[in-house]
Amino acid sequence: MIQMGNNLDWNTDLQVGFLIDKLDHFGNDKLQKKLRKLLKKKFNDKKMRPEVVEFNTFILAKAHCNNGDFDKSESRITTEKNLHSLYQDYVKRSSKLLRSRTKRNRSEIESHGILEKFLTSIPKCPDNPGHIISEENRKMIDFIEKSFLHIIERSWIIFWAFKQKGEDRIIIQNEIFHRNYDRKSSSSALHAFDELLILNFTRPLLKSFDHLLQNINNRVENIEDAFKGSIKIGITNPELASEAFGILIGELVGGIDAIHTIIRQITRIEEIQNSAKQEILILNGFGEEIRKTVNNGRNLQEMKSKFQGIITTLKNLQISIRELINQTKEGNIEINLDNFHSAVIALPIQLREVKIWADRFMDIAFLSPESGGELSMLSKEYSSLDQEHDEDIIIKARGLHKTYRPSTSTVYALRGANLNVREGEFLAILGPSGSGKTTLINMMAGLDMPDRGQVYLRGKAISSMSDNELSEYRRNHIGFVFQSYLLDPRLSVYENVALPAKMAGKTENLQTRVVELLDNLGLKEYANQDPTKLSGGQLQRVIIARSCINFPHVVFADEPTGDLDSETGKQVLLYFRKLCDEKGIAFVVVTHDQEMSSFADRVFRMKDGQIVG
């Protein structure tokens, strides 16, 4: 269930979900403002303000009502018409933007111009191949616009639910489903709102993927034959031919990447479908009709397998075209002249269609189904104090989400991460680059704040702490070993290690502590050395010594052995283990190094912003 607010004093819930164009930031902000304004006007209770958020590729809204106005069907119907009208205006805007966005850019026009010149140098060239390219491109855009409009027009839900009594009412794809809610026998339909919203969207999307799959299959077979022929054609301009074939290779590379994206999208849809089964089953009273409406009835494993087969075909096509590039050096090429021209025209247009589809719904691959099919949305659900705090838990992370927008794209760095750090334990977090490991420890250390979710330090929420409180906690209780060294070049090794203790006022036995740390890390003889004269591995060990000087509650380490040879790295990990066991320091270590597992108490693996095992 999508969790939005925790109010109890109401008798009617309204939840709304709209599919959006992720690239239209201005339009999405405008839609949110209009939606919030409309709901405030309709639900004007100051204690229960409507909530509107952008979530992945949807805008979601929820409003509560504690009077009897919406027990009357006329009030609900009027509100539904207002909501639908608001979304229809957005759909019209989205359709216009799609056409302007999919016009050929200068780079594509130049590439098509090169292909046109090349085709005219080959026998049997049709009249005006450039016009044919433009016309085929126009037809493709018309088809995509029609398909996208079909999807977005159907990808919205309006959902009424009652706490005590009344008629639950769901509008999906312009169909209305309703039931008389019985508290004793009816399960809350709100638990399935997110599943219905997503599955409703994926039904027309998967239908369009079917058409895309059919189009690619039909065209690629003909295209593949064109580049495997026995007719020798003389090449009068080898440079032009090589440039044209190079363009086709580039299109193939982009097309293969796009199909991989579509496969990831289908995989995510499959996971959501599996997590949604139980939630959909509990919709007592709505009958089979609502399940049929959102059931796509497709074998997604088979669909993915077919797309994977196309990738194999496109890779083989790359090999064939590279062979033609080699042949151009000899002044001729071997092709199937009967359909070569049509293939050269069709290939970039077909692959452009694939890329447009993949880009348009890029974010679907990052929808986050959590346990029980739930999609948690707002950090407001977490209190400033952890009511179930265990004394030995230093840091608790709950439902952490973090999204970045570096340009027109969206990066889902964290998608619902949960983790506890206990006293004196060694945690290893493994995963490939970009999986969210560094973002996670930055959140847990209070160096960055999550968009949703909460981090608790000794039971107190970071979001409720002042900057001074948080700085003091980090200074006294947290150590850091990051990939950038951040040592002061004006200070000696000894002075750099001692600096955090002096800043925190922990100077008792400081010299003994510094010397002991440097000795254990094989740096005792470098105590008076200038840090700029040390090797990368030596600098890393100085950072480790500095992070442990105050014997903090927890040390966060990002690739601490990355610059060390295997033997030195092993010695550092053994020292981490010793500090865990003897001093009770907890270590949270982010790494690619699988060997770290043998030193850790617990090992977590991250993928696509989630802890997966």
Query: What is the pairing mode between strands 426-430 and 602-607?
Result: parallel
Q: Is 379 inside a domain boundary?
A: no
Q: How far is CA 103 from CA 86, 128, 354, 537, 612, in A?
A: 27, 20, 15, 52, 40
Please check whether residues 200 and 231 belong to one and the same domain: yes
Q: Is 381 inside a domain boundary?
A: no
Please check whether residues 369 and 404 belong to one and the same domain: no
Last residue of a domain, one of 339, 373, 407: 373
Burial of residue 220 (number of CB atoms within 10 Å: 0-12, 13-18, 19+): buried
Q: Is 532 inside a domain boundary?
A: yes
Q: How far is CA 60 from CA 168, 194, 376, 380, 570, in A?
A: 19, 10, 12, 16, 50
pLDDT computed for residue 127 by the predictor: 86
Please check whether residues 189 and 255 belong to one and the same domain: yes
What are the φ and ψ backbone dihedral angles of 53, each rounded to 5 degrees?
A: -140, 155
Tokens of residue 596, six digits: 């770290």
Q: Is 219 inside a domain boundary?
A: yes
Last residue of a domain, one of 373, 403, 434: 373
Low-confidence residues of the chain: pLDDT under 70: 1-11, 44-48, 66-72, 162-167, 180-191, 277-291, 296, 368-389, 406-409, 483-485
Please check whether residues 344 and 424 belong to one and the same domain: no
What are the φ and ψ backbone dihedral angles of 372, each rounded to 5 degrees?
A: 75, 15
What is the 8-class DSSP label of residue 3? Answer: B
- The alpha-helical segments, DSSP class H, found in 432-505 are 437-444, 467-477, 493-504
Q: What is the b/e burial string over 82-110, where b = at least 16 CB atoms within 10 angstroms of the residue's CB?
A: ebeebbeebbebbbeebeeebebeeebee
Q: How far is CA 336 from CA 196, 221, 279, 315, 404, in A?
A: 50, 13, 55, 19, 48
Q: What percent of the chain shows pLDDT beyond 90?
A: 19
pLDDT computed for residue 407 by the predictor: 64
Q: How many residues does the chain have?
A: 613
* 540/518 Cα distance (integer angstroms): 12
The closest of 158, 186, 13, 7 to 86, measured between CA atoms, is: 158
pLDDT computed for residue 272 by the predictor: 81
Please check whether residues 329 and 448 belong to one and the same domain: no
pLDDT computed for residue 355 by the predictor: 92
Tokens of residue 191, six digits: 């638990």
Give the predicted TM-score (pTM) of the model: 0.75
Q: Is 5 inside a domain boundary?
A: no
Burial of residue 357 (number of CB atoms within 10 Å: 0-12, 13-18, 19+): buried
* 322/327 Cα distance (integer angstroms): 9
pLDDT computed for residue 20 by the predictor: 92
Please check whether residues 297 and 357 belong to one and the same domain: yes
Kindly report the number of other CB atoms within 10 A of residue 263's CB atom: 18
Please check whether residues 312 and 413 belong to one and the same domain: no
* 351/181 Cα distance (integer angstroms): 50
What's the start-to-end Cα distance of the chain, in Å? 23
pLDDT computed for residue 379 by the predictor: 39
Q: Is 295 inside a domain boundary?
A: yes
Q: Is 385 inside a domain boundary?
A: no
Please check whether residues 290 and 231 belong to one and the same domain: yes
- The sheet carrying 12-19 orders its strands as 51-55, 58-65, 12-19, 156-162, 165-172, 175-182
pLDDT computed for residue 378 by the predictor: 40
- The two counts, helices (H) then strands (E), for the chain are 15, 18
Q: Is 588 inside a domain boundary?
A: yes
Find out whether 409 and 358 touch, Cβ atoms under 8 Å: no
Range of the domain at 33: 12-373
Q: How is 235-251 classified by DSSP, letter by letter?
A: -S-HHHHHHHHHHHHHH
* 324/333 Cα distance (integer angstroms): 6
Please check whether residues 359 and 491 belong to one and the same domain: no
Q: Which helix (H) or strand (E) holds 171?
A: strand 165-172
Instruction: Give residue 71's identity as a one-letter amino acid code.
Output: D
Provide the CATH number for the domain around residue 399.
Answer: 3.40.50.300
Q: How far is CA 443 from CA 216, 370, 396, 451, 462, in A?
A: 44, 20, 11, 10, 9
Q: Summarize pLDDT for 360-386 with one digit per residue, the tens.
A: 888 888 876 554 334 444 434 555 666
pLDDT computed for residue 369 by the predictor: 52
Please check whether residues 110 and 229 belong to one and the same domain: yes
The closest of 608, 191, 194 to 401, measured between CA atoms, is: 608
Structural domain total, the chain: 2
Please check whether residues 357 and 440 belong to one and the same domain: no
* 11/63 Cα distance (integer angstroms): 11
Please check whether residues 310 and 417 belong to one and the same domain: no
